[in-house]
Structure 1
């Protein structure tokens, strides 16, 4: 019996070893093909994949690899055939659908590519590569609004990824939306993005022939004091804005009313870049023969970005009232966190050897663009939230809270509204302001 079994065992063992060697050889061929792909040696990879497909005609790795090789070598029709073969054996595979859609896009068949990209993002809403491909498609297709929307979605998925800010900034730049482009690119720098890309685009912004963007708007503010109606005041503000490559300048014409008196004032509010990741705000206002407004207001504030999305500012304001000038100083700290802008501000006012302070916390949630947002704020202080006459700085400690909404509505108009309440021990003050800009950009 043993004489019969021994040869049979030897044959089975040898056959097993041969199969193992063949499997090992096939696996080695597939590994080499994938290595060739990684190193960009597509001709060698094609040969290896072709050999492997003769032993396993339904191999996912080999079919998918052949599809990619043909796509990279601009053999788009052959690439689509291989992707179809992958999907024939592995129905609904998201990577194969994405690859085929990309090839459609490279062929210029944008509508077909869009249909497949949208379908896959609906099936797999967290599939980041599919969203990236859809956004790129819209850029090639010259559909900046759709591209902006998809990049904004990607930023909501991965708010700390600087590449998406760079790409959305590129879209803004293509539409001459300079301020929003600069915001995204500087945000990318703060997040540690590719400095070569971001600085090149920022230089492009600074070199762009100053296509100044003109804008106009109007606003109204009303503040009511429960303790003394004689302190109530309101004002209209007509605004004109000029935004160009060197900065933004906002001109104000102000008509203010209080207790049967009125004052007129003009002002200029300007923002311009200083050095790397920094900008300056200068505000100047003058009033001729005022009844309750100051003769003049001058404010200087310097903003400096640093680290990963951090920002600080230092500012000073002088208000020249008919009786006594008032100086105010402030320091802020802020952080960009995805679509949020979180800020804290300390304002102090030295009066008669005493210092009044105002502490305020802000949380701003950006909506579709940098110009559209909702902002919540909360503060506490012994100082009124808005100071017109500086006649009463002896108020008890107060808390301040409110909300601001700024959103594109009624076509291109950028509508804004603010509601604020300040509560003291025995009194309260309510402030409402609203208005609009003619152009949301």
Structure 2
């Protein structure tokens, strides 16, 4: 069911040998460009037509009435409400601690630099629809934005044909629990364009966050610069680093749990135990036959993006998972905490058998909006910092500027930008500054 890649004895760089999903954002750009331009020029009229074309829903208005949001919460299953409330509580505990405080450094007497952390003014949060419903993504996007102090928060999610052309009621209920009253029934690339350009019903935003399909990712790439983005999220992925102490049934269940997201989801096992690999294969055959979304799961597990990677030992296993840089990485080995401490590249690390990825999806307190496609080697998951900007405030008095003036002038001359030096000279009377130095600009 799942392919094998044998890296035992290999000294090659594993990055080009590991399974990856095909996710060509560049090719999708040309498809989303006219969509975004249409929204830019025609606003709501374009959104209505595009939503009817792509979602089979005819909108009267893109904005969800507040009464509909409140009603969704009133009819929510009490068990689901309790679960969402606990998810929100735990997420707030973790994200509240992430908020940075302003800090002032006294560089010299009379001269200081303060770093202020200021939230963006307005964010657009994308909650995907499609094959599943994701109220958990409402929590993961909204909580860090609120903890950062963002004053303007808007949520959008695709309208659901099966729910009368409305946003899924569980998503609306999650918005209600979080106090979000600005919700739009728009999905896909057109939703990103709506946030970027604004329409008659939706004011433009400064930043867009949240995962989506390839067209959402392409629209983010196209409009980056006009808006800030969190990432170009690709298909979801899990890697499990395991030795012979791992429980095959649990490893298989975790691989399946990720595969049920999407046929393009990646499930990768990295192990130095051939016996474990064989046992997991047997468990996959058994469990997939019993799972609800077995067709989707089978397509994901048999796709080129999934596989079992055999390694010589945990040292090589660590090199492999660091090269893979998984969105979600489970460590199911002896002394899992020590092994996890040696991982450098992962969106989130789940330590030991009692920290499955699904815990992080809903109720660990961590954030599940994470870098995919190997981007964890240079990018982080969504956090309070995603919604903050660091602004340096420079405050020097006359004496402090005078003391450093010669260095500023000399560096300005070195860069052949004498006007920079003149901007300092202009603040003092002729001859007041001592700009003498043994250093001179060399001849060109």
Which structure has more RCO (C-alpha within 8 Å, separation ≥ 6)? 2
TM over 0.5: no
Which interval holds the TM-score relative to the shorter structure?
under 0.3
More helix by share: 2
* TM-score of the aligned structures, taking structure 1 as reference length: 0.23
More strand by share: 1
